[in-house]
Chain A
Amino acid sequence: MSIENLKPYFPWITLAVLVLLVGALNPSFLNPASLVQLVADIVPLFIMALGMTFAIYIGGIDLSMQQVANLVTVVATVYLVQYGIFVAFLCIGAGFVIGAASGWITTRQFVPSFVATLAMGFIALSGARFLSGERALSMNADARDASFGWMFGNTVGIPHELVIAGLLLALAWFLQSRTTFGRALKAVGSGELAAVASGLKVDQIKILAFALSGTFAAIAGLMFSVKLSGGDANLANGFLILAIVAVLVGGTPLTGGVGGVINTLVGTLIVVVIRSAMVYLEVDATMQQMIFGVILIVAIAMTIDRSKMRIVK
């Protein structure tokens, strides 16, 4: 029975074991300052994984997030001078609309989210390529510092990026566990038919979930764009798979209704620890990807809670 009780904490235990393992092999990994920095650097990835959590929580997936982020880096760079800090609204609005469109295609047109979001991603990519004129753009440095310079400062040693991530996590957690919307998400994820029979506006909820994932993708894209002070149609490449992996490793299975944003926090941290362990432990460059895959299998095998999975598909 004790193992049963520990199950929810498996992701945390996995994380702790990994950190200690890497720390034991290379103690400089445990240096608090560099750990804080390590965590601060993955903030855009974490935000994207947060958004992905909403899509996966209702049993779907959002493969458009990376392209939404790409589009947003271009939008932010192009319109920063014109709109200043209000370009954020434009970016977030774009993410929301694209996400909502994915959701609409999935729920109302019965296109599986795997394909619907992939296709919406292509559309966003077209937009990014068109708007950027197929060039890498750089931000006007003055406008960037004036509008978003605060994002990358420090307060008492805590990077502001972490503060933003913390606030978004709190917001996402609050949405998930304290609001009618979050409850509805859970109902849709665990038992969509029962949610319909309880009179929930299931379609709207699903569309909103995808819109939220789009919104978070946009926030991630915006932060990344400001961080790199530029944008182009490929800038955010490489986020997507990692974000999915982070959510899954955290223990939110693709079947929906289980897990949540806190799991995603752990999942992201696990992924990042594995990734930086490659650097710290000086893993041979050609071996890295293979080892990443193997550790991933082990990590997922350890973290997922199989008790609610009747059939494993």
Chain B
Amino acid sequence: MYQLNKVDKKFPGVHALKAVDFKIGRGEIVGLVGENGAGKSTLMKVIYGAYQPDSGTVTIDGKAVRFQNPRQAMDHGIGMVFQEQSLITNLTVMENIFLGFEQQFVRFGVINWTAMAKAARHQLRKVKLDIDPSTVTSKLSFAQRQLVELAKVLTLEERIDGDLVILLDEPTSVLAKEEVELLFSLVRELTSRASFIFVSHRMDEVLELSDRIYVMKDGEVVDVVEHGQANIDAIQHKMVGREVDKQYYREQKQHPYDSGKTLVRFDRVSVAGKYRDVSFDLHPGEVLCLVGTEGSGREAVLRTIFGLERPSTGAVAIKGNPFHRATAQEAVARGVGYVPRERKVEGIVNGMNVYENMTLSQMGKYASHGVLRIREEKALAENWIKRLSIKTPDVYKDCGGLSGGNQQKVVLAKWRSGGSDIFLLDHPTRGLDIGAKEDVYDMIREMCDDGAGIVLVADTLEEAIGLSHTILVLKDGEIQKRFDGSPGGKPSPFDLVHHMI
């Protein structure tokens, strides 16, 4: 039905798509996997009309089409559910659903809100979401928003007579397990009406949902796997182009921590409205993982250690000293390093180059009386680029132009080179491909061996379990359960989920 033949796309310096063949039949769910930079997002942009191919053809039911913009693609039944939250939060749910297509509710220039609400309810029913369509979107949970996005794309159903192709770009990244299940069952139901292209880093999900999986590497489709024959290891091998370490989470490198010393101590700490009565100790060499759903208070704990939240009761001590007038500067001075979830916004400064980013938290060490010693900064950057094999042409490269994995390495290099020994990692592998993830896992083990303590909020439960020495399960701001995560004695995801919800 929908087909790409020998589609080619070049950007200055990059051959992003090399003669890609791709097809999807009616009612199919097609998985698309590949490392970051393999060309997935370019391919998707070509499909939904944001990019135009340099050569090759796009056909729908055998007819050649060419989209100048996403709008034209939509008119041909192609819709996209975006990876990042793509609803406009200051608008109501119904406005978001019909954004750009309000004309159907307009009579004599006036929007008929009642009609729009009715139509919106109809769309929301398709995704089994029972909310008032005039709710302002910012009041919804992330999962609800994801469903609204799906509902929005499904408006194509009414608008288009022909077949629909819906792209789902990392739709599960912000969802909890049961929400993912809900989404998947919805998608399966909807195959009666639409075909789906499903893109995810979560290999198990792709395997579970897809009828066929396209594996991409370096701008090419290197393999097409049918549902029954799919095998995670084989696919990963194709994607990475080498054998994936069986010991994915580097458990063999997990060494016992030094319980004699304490880096961070929480003593019945509460932050009003965020969490209550949280107590724990973090020791050198320990990976302490906070597990819980969105809003369980896990991020707030990290932010408290970094001085961005002030405890309303209880005591925080860092390396034995009380942490009273908490500020981020104070935290950094005491050796705390923060790797935020929003890497592009909080992790690196887009617009500053590699060495500037690396020394940002520790400029004082490279300056005398406020005057920078730029030569030393560059030397430091070159050293860490080598040590962490960061892929960048030189130290002058704008960090905004690096790939996600390399950005994350720059962030880690910033803190490690600054001598931090307490690391707060908030979703450190989010959006990274397998190779980059492995690099991060290696680094975590390495840092532990150097005597650092790590507080981790992981991307997946498997990751949390695989990496940590200690797991704290949080629910509604309270610690539910503490698990020991020594190799051999690790809990199962089911054990954790039981306490999370």
Question: Are chains A and B touching directly in their complex (CB below 8 angstroms)?
Answer: yes
Chain A positions within 8 Å of B, measured between CB atoms, are 1, 174, 178-181, 183-184, 186-187, 189-191, 193-201, 257-258, 308
**B340, CB-defined interface residue at 8 Å:** yes
Cβ of A190: which chain B residues have Cβ within 8 Å of it?
A: 349-352
Bound-state CA distance A186–B364 (Å) is 16
**B414, CB-defined interface residue at 8 Å:** yes
Q: Contact at A195–B360, with CB atoms within 8 Å?
A: yes
- 21 residue pairs A–B, Cβ–Cβ below 8 Å: A179-B367, A179-B371, A183-B359, A183-B363, A183-B372, A186-B349, A186-B351, A191-B349, A191-B352, A194-B360, A195-B349, A195-B360, A196-B346, A197-B346, A197-B347, A199-B306, A199-B331, A199-B332, A200-B329, A200-B360, A201-B329
- Residues of chain B from 323 to 355 with CB closer than 8 A to chain A in the complex: 327-329, 331-333, 338, 340, 342, 345-352
Q: Contact at B328–A180, with CB atoms within 8 Å?
A: no
**B370, CB-defined interface residue at 8 Å:** yes
Chain B positions within 8 Å of A, measured between CB atoms, are 12, 306, 308, 327-329, 331-333, 338, 340, 342, 345-352, 356, 359-361, 363-364, 367, 370-372, 374, 414
Q: Which residue of A lies closest to B415 (CB)?
A: A198
Bound-state CA distance A258–B348 (Å) is 16
**Which one of A179, A183, A194, A200 lies within 8 Å of B347 (CB-CB)?**
A194
**Which one of B327, B329, B346 lies within 8 Å of A194 (CB-CB)?**
B346
Q: Which residue of B lies closest to A186 (CB)?
A: B352
Q: Indicate whether A184 sits within 8 Å of B351 (C-beta atoms), given known contacts A1-B12, A178-B371.
A: no
Cβ of B374: which chain A residues have Cβ within 8 Å of it?
A: 178
Q: Which residue of B lies closest to A257 (CB)?
A: B351
Bound-state CA distance A276–B178 (Å) is 70
Kindly list 14 other residue pairs between chains A and B, CB separation below 8 angstroms, not including A187-B352, A191-B345, A201-B329.
A180-B371, A180-B372, A183-B356, A186-B352, A191-B351, A196-B328, A197-B328, A198-B360, A198-B414, A199-B328, A199-B333, A199-B338, A200-B329, A257-B352
Bound-state CA distance A180–B371 (Å) is 6
Q: Contact at B348–A179, with CB atoms within 8 Å?
A: no
Q: Which residue of B lies closest to A4 (CB)?
A: B12
Closest CB-CB distance, A227 to chain B, in whole Å? 32
Closest CB-CB distance, A251 to chain B, in whole Å? 14
Bound-state CA distance A197–B414 (Å) is 12
Q: Contact at A197–B338, with CB atoms within 8 Å?
A: yes
**Which one of B308, B327, B370 lies within 8 Å of A180 (CB-CB)?**
B370
Bound-state CA distance A189–B352 (Å) is 10
Bound-state CA distance A94–B488 (Å) is 68
Bound-state CA distance A197–B364 (Å) is 16
Closest CB-CB distance, A1 to chain B, in whole Å? 7
Cβ of A189: which chain B residues have Cβ within 8 Å of it?
A: 351
Bound-state CA distance A200–B370 (Å) is 14
SS class, residues of chain A in contact with chain B: helix
Cβ of B361: which chain A residues have Cβ within 8 Å of it?
A: 198-200
Cβ of B333: which chain A residues have Cβ within 8 Å of it?
A: 199
**Which one of A194, A199, A201 lies within 8 Å of B349 (CB-CB)?**
A194
Bound-state CA distance A146–B361 (Å) is 48
**Which one of A174, A186, A201 lies within 8 Å of B356 (CB-CB)?**
A186
Q: Contact at A199–B345, with CB atoms within 8 Å?
A: no
Bound-state CA distance A191–B361 (Å) is 14
Bound-state CA distance A214–B473 (Å) is 51
Q: Which residue of A lies closest to B348 (CB)?
A: A194
Q: Contact at A191–B348, with CB atoms within 8 Å?
A: yes
Closest CB-CB distance, A155 to chain B, in whole Å? 29
Interface centre among A1, A183, A187, A308 (most CB of B within 10 A): A183
Bound-state CA distance A183–B371 (Å) is 10
Closest CB-CB distance, B329 to chain A, in whole Å? 5
Cβ of B414: which chain A residues have Cβ within 8 Å of it?
A: 198
Bound-state CA distance A73–B379 (Å) is 48
Interface centre among B347, B348, B349, B367 (most CB of A within 10 A): B349
Cβ of A183: which chain B residues have Cβ within 8 Å of it?
A: 356, 359-360, 363, 372
Q: Contact at B363–A184, with CB atoms within 8 Å?
A: yes
Bound-state CA distance A186–B350 (Å) is 10
Cβ of B329: which chain A residues have Cβ within 8 Å of it?
A: 199-201
Q: Contact at A178–B372, with CB atoms within 8 Å?
A: yes
Closest CB-CB distance, B255 to chain A, in whole Å? 29
Bound-state CA distance A193–B342 (Å) is 10
Bound-state CA distance A12–B345 (Å) is 32
Closest CB-CB distance, A257 to chain B, in whole Å? 5
Bound-state CA distance A180–B327 (Å) is 19
Q: Contact at A187–B349, with CB atoms within 8 Å?
A: yes
Closest CB-CB distance, A90 to chain B, in whole Å? 25
Cβ of A196: which chain B residues have Cβ within 8 Å of it?
A: 308, 328, 346
Cβ of A191: which chain B residues have Cβ within 8 Å of it?
A: 345-346, 348-352
Closest CB-CB distance, A4 to chain B, in whole Å? 8
Closest CB-CB distance, A191 to chain B, in whole Å? 4
Q: Contact at B370–A179, with CB atoms within 8 Å?
A: yes
Closest CB-CB distance, B11 to chain A, in whole Å? 12
Q: Which residue of A lies closest to B338 (CB)?
A: A197
Closest CB-CB distance, A313 to chain B, in whole Å? 15
Bound-state CA distance A200–B359 (Å) is 11
Closest CB-CB distance, A245 to chain B, in whole Å? 24
Cβ of A1: which chain B residues have Cβ within 8 Å of it?
A: 12
Q: Which residue of B lies closest to A184 (CB)?
A: B363
Bound-state CA distance A291–B289 (Å) is 65
Closest CB-CB distance, A260 to chain B, in whole Å? 12
Cβ of A257: which chain B residues have Cβ within 8 Å of it?
A: 351-352
